[in-house]
Amino acid sequence: MENKIKKQTEIIGAITEDKNRDPKTGQFVVGNELGGKTKGSQDFKTLFHKAIKKIAEDEKIDIDSVEIAIVKKAIEKAKKGDFKFYKDISDRTYGKAQDQLDITSGGKPLPLLNNVHNDQSDTQTAKAEETD
């Protein structure tokens, strides 16, 4: 336990002494030397669309035909059980689908959350009565 605390203290000390970070906020300062994306670098979505455009020009076909060919390939792979190709491209170009978390029990709120909701309602009712 003591070694873990010592190591964490060393890490925090290294961060606060880091010339690439603001000593008060810990955020990187302009011109830090630690890397990150290089100036002018592009995200996957931009590069993907540029690649589609380049393929269309080289093959002398329209952009829609290239996109359709990619989707066809994705469907072929999906039929064989490989959904990764389609999912990767879809997530990177259109954004990952939002995960839904259902925290109910048989369609009813969990008792713990029900109590939190009731406590908030009681607080709001009390505040409303104070202002009347």
Give the global pTM. Answer: 0.46
Q: What is the pLDDT of residues 19-58, one digit of tens each?
A: 677 777 877 777 766 666 667 778 888 888 999 999 999 9
Which of the pair, 128 or 86, is modelled with greater confidence? 86
104 — phi, psi (to 5°)? -120, 165
Please tell me the distance from the alpha carbon of residue 17 to that of residue 30, in angstroms, as a whole number.
16
**Would you state the pLDDT for residue 120?**
53
The residue-averaged pLDDT of 60-67 equals: 93
Q: What is the pLDDT of residues 86-100, one digit of tens each?
A: 888 888 888 888 877
Tell me: pLDDT of 124 over 90: no
**Would you state the pLDDT for residue 54?**
94
Which DSSP string corresponds to 13-58?
A: HHHHH-TTB-TTT-PBPTT-SS--SPTT---HHHHHHHHHHHHHHH
Most confidently predicted of 7-11, 79-83, 107-111 = 79-83
Average pLDDT across the chain, whole number: 74
- Nearest Cα to 91, choosing from 48, 41, 53, 37? 48
